[in-house]
Amino acid sequence: MQHRILALALLPLLGACVSAIPAAPAPGGAAPPSAHPSAPPPTRPAPPQRAADFRVPRVMNMPGLEGVIGADAEALQRTFGTARLDVREGDARKLQYSGEACVLDIYLYPPRPDAEPTATYVDARRSSDGLDVDRAACVAALRRR
């Protein structure tokens, strides 16, 4: 009786030692997905946006943002220098500039299909605590002298 209890107690330990048997290939020759893939699955780029799907962006219009709103990325780099962040998503782009006074995020969208993105919106916050600051004051503080 003791031998049976001992054998039953050791069964889970023995099961842990057995290596897994590879799964048989799926019908059609494709191998089943691995439990631990070694590389991420391939991604497909977003399909190009059709002109019929294009949405004209709203353009911010505030005093003190002249020379920023409507500018392309090259003009913004001439004004502020190299962006701290340059993020692209689809046909949109975000440039971020920062200094002691503030962090400036400039959002660029194409004004029409297949056009170069231009700045349409600006957001500004304090570097220290992230609270909103006057956008025009931040632009003035970060402009190259």
pLDDT tens readout for residues 19-62: 555 555 555 555 555 555 566 666 665 555 555 677 888 888 88
Beta bridge mates, 122: 106
Which residue has tokens 């020759």? 29
More confident site: 48 or 90:
90
Supply 3's token pair.
Answer: 């031998």
Q: What are phi and psi of 143, to 5 degrees?
A: -60, 140
Supply 48's token pair.
Answer: 């190009």
CA pair distance 145, 143, nearest whole angstrom? 6
Q: For strands 118-125 and 85-89, give the pairing.
A: unpaired
Separation in Å, CA 104 to CA 16, 91, 116, 138? 56, 20, 21, 7
Q: Residue 94 CB: number of other CB atoms within 10 A?
A: 17
Q: The whole model's pTM is what?
A: 0.63
Over residues 72-85, the pLDDT tens digits come to 999 999 999 999 99
Q: H or E segment at 26?
A: none
pLDDT over threshold 80, residue 71: yes
Q: Could you tell me how many residues make up the chain?
A: 145
